[in-house]
Amino acid sequence: MTLRAIIAGTGGYLPELALDNDALAARHGLDTSDAWIRERTGIRRRHIAAPGQMASDLALFACQAALEQAGAMVDEVDGILVATATPDSVFPSTAARLQAKLGMERGFAFDIAAACTGFVYALSVADAMIRVGQARNLLVVGTEVFSRILDWTDRGTCVLFGDGAGAVLLRASDAEDGRGILSCHLHADGRHGDILQVEGLPGQLRMAGREVFRHAVAKLASVVDEALESNGLTKSDVAWLVPHQANLRIIEAMGRKLGLPQDRVVVSVDRHANTSAASIPLALAEATRDGRIARGDLVLMEAIGGGLTWGASLARF
């Protein structure tokens, strides 16, 4: 029997405090405007974690929602993989803290650090574990509190990010119906690490925006082609693009490359901003729960982040 990981449930969570662009500028005394931010990024608002609210707290709500949708109990879960660039602590891992908050007394838990590509990296690891029979049910989570690492005097970066968490429950299946994760494709190039980084603990995010944009378009286009070719598929086979939500211009460029109409590209950056590793599972949860992504749809996920890291995954729902 060939095992494949199906996405059995999705969940997302956003902190209660939502700030639109004008409110953000007023709160931090920024020399910027709603028009300036929208024109360059497509972002209208973002959510900010409450004081004392940690990445594991956000992840808890997302995981509970994913388990509920999948009709699964916590004691069925074999392990937790958390992608985050803003962990609760150096150690224990955010995954271990999440495990405790879920009341899970079995299995394993560990973090993956690949910045905005973290969820795709974690999905790849979890998929491989299920394929070889090491686990049957895994929670894969992206969760971030980027508001803790932003320089609120730098209007070029602080307006771009928000906090949130997204999760999926992966379940082993015999894959007879063709559903599940088809493949994941991961890359990194540490030579470009200094264009998007957080140095030291605690540190603040620094980004060379134009350089990141230049790498993003080329590298994402390449890994999308790689994913399709490895599965003998074409762009016309893709029903939905669920991209990392960094910048509306990059998202629209990838949609055009795939020949997808904009209503087949899941966009949440306007309301969530860039939630790093949480952005894909948050967008995925939104689009599965409102019925846009349906049974049998081929979904392409792609991301690029600090490292540089980038990757893509194809899944049939």
Which positions are catalytic? 116, 244, 274
**203 vs 216: CA distance, rounded Å:** 24
User: Residue 51: is the preceding peptide bond cis (ω within 30°)?
Assistant: no
Termini Cα distance of the chain: 20
Nearest one of 112, 120, 3, 104 to 63, comparing CA atoms? 104
CA atoms within 13 A on the CB side of 203: 12
The CA–CA distances, whole Å, from 25 to 31, 37, 268 equal 7, 10, 21
CB-based burial of residue 27 (10 Å sphere; 0-12 exposed, 13-18 middle, 19+ buried)? exposed
Collapsing DSSP to helix, strand or coil, 204 comes out as: coil
**43 vs 260: CA distance, rounded Å:** 21
As given in the structure block, the two tokens for residue 288 are: 């599965």
**217 vs 234: CA distance, rounded Å:** 19
Q: Evaluate whether 104 touches 74 at the Cβ level (below 8 Å).
A: yes
Collapsing DSSP to helix, strand or coil, 126 comes out as: helix
Residue 220: enclosing H or E segment and its boundaries?
helix 209-230
Strands (E) in 163-248, as ranges, are: 163-173, 180-188, 196-198, 205-207, 240-243
